Amino acid sequence: MGVWELSVYVSVLLLALSGSPVLGSLRNVTADVFGSESYGKVAAFGDFNADKQTDMFIIRSGNELWIFLADLKGTPYFHPNVKLSLKSEDVVITSVVPGDYDGDSQMDVLLTTIPKDKVNTDVPLTAVIYWGLNQTLNVNSKTRLNNTYLDEPLIIDFNGDLIPDIFGVTGEGAKPLITYGGGNLSVTTTLNTKNKMFIPHSHAFVDLTTDFTADLFLTTVSGASEIQFETWENKGGNFTESTLIIQKPKDVKIVGQSVFADFGILNFTGWL
């Protein structure tokens, strides 16, 4: 998982190659899929109503979250059934991360926001979880995290309890903070990092040691202000120290998002 906002306009999802509605075997199905509702920014995917169909989370006007529930039975396939409007709060939604943050089997939504008048400035992000109840979201049923984030938080299950936790650098301390889901969200711990996190981050939760347990991959900044990549091996659910630090290769000029794939016979050490 990384930064979630994709900024893809729905209408260009399917066919942006030609003005013609039919091109070879490609067909513009936007109207079948969305009807007349094909506008907004796709922010996330997830099964919100637990019907085993993937629903879409779409931001409109910067401050409205719409959940398009999938309906196999008819056209259009997606209907904008659930709406959460933050209009009255004068904020812009910067990221949407669906997940069951309290473990009640109902999907909740974590939103990060910034004040509307601070767009394009360097302000910390506010993170608020809106609690899913009976397949709806209510603007009053929410928990605002006490800390603000300097970068989009990473959502991972740190403690292996199958409930997502929130990891990120806050405005309140240099070390990344982990806020555990499942309780009252006031139980936290910090990760004992020695280096500053690189912003924007490209952290990941992925098995890098081939032991079938996800490890932590962090992009950090070394003492010499060089970008580096740290692996924190998951040892029985504990992340006590970085087990491998790889410096950015010397000739690399720009560091963007890290991508992970099974490159075959090379292990991670052999790769860089």
Among 74, 223, 236, 264, binds ligand NAG (CB under 6 A): 236
Cα dihedral sign, 101-95-93-28: negative
Q: In this complex, which beta carbon is closest to ligand NAG, that of residue 77 or of residue 198? A: 77
Reading the block at residue 127, the tokens are 């993170």
Q: In this complex, which beta carbon is closest to ligand NAG, that of residue 174 or of residue 272? A: 272
Reading the block at residue 198, the tokens are 């690189």
Cα dihedral sign, 157-161-164-167: negative
CA distance 168 to 201: 9
CA distance 206 to 233: 10
Among 53, 81, 85, 143, binds ligand NAG (CB under 6 A): 143
Q: In this complex, which beta carbon is closest to ligand NAG, that of residue 188 or of residue 258? A: 188
β-bridge partners, 197: 220
Report the SS3 class of residue 266: coil
Q: How many residues bind ligand NAG (CB under 6 A)?
A: 25
Rounded least distance, CB 144 to ligand NAG, Å:
7
- Binding segment (CB under 6 A) for ligand NAG, from list 55-63, 157-165, 221-229, 263-271: 263-271
* CA-CA-CA-CA dihedral for 269, 166, 170, 236, to nearest 10: -50
Among 184, 253, 256, 261, binds ligand NAG (CB under 6 A): 184
Rounded least distance, CB 17 to ligand NAG, Å:
7
Q: In this complex, which beta carbon is closest to ligand NAG, that of residue 2 or of residue 237? A: 237
Residues 6+ apart with CB under 8 A from 241: 192, 232
Footprint of ligand NAG on this chain (CB under 6 A)? 11, 15-16, 21, 28, 30-31, 38, 133-134, 143, 145-146, 183-187, 235-238, 267, 269-270
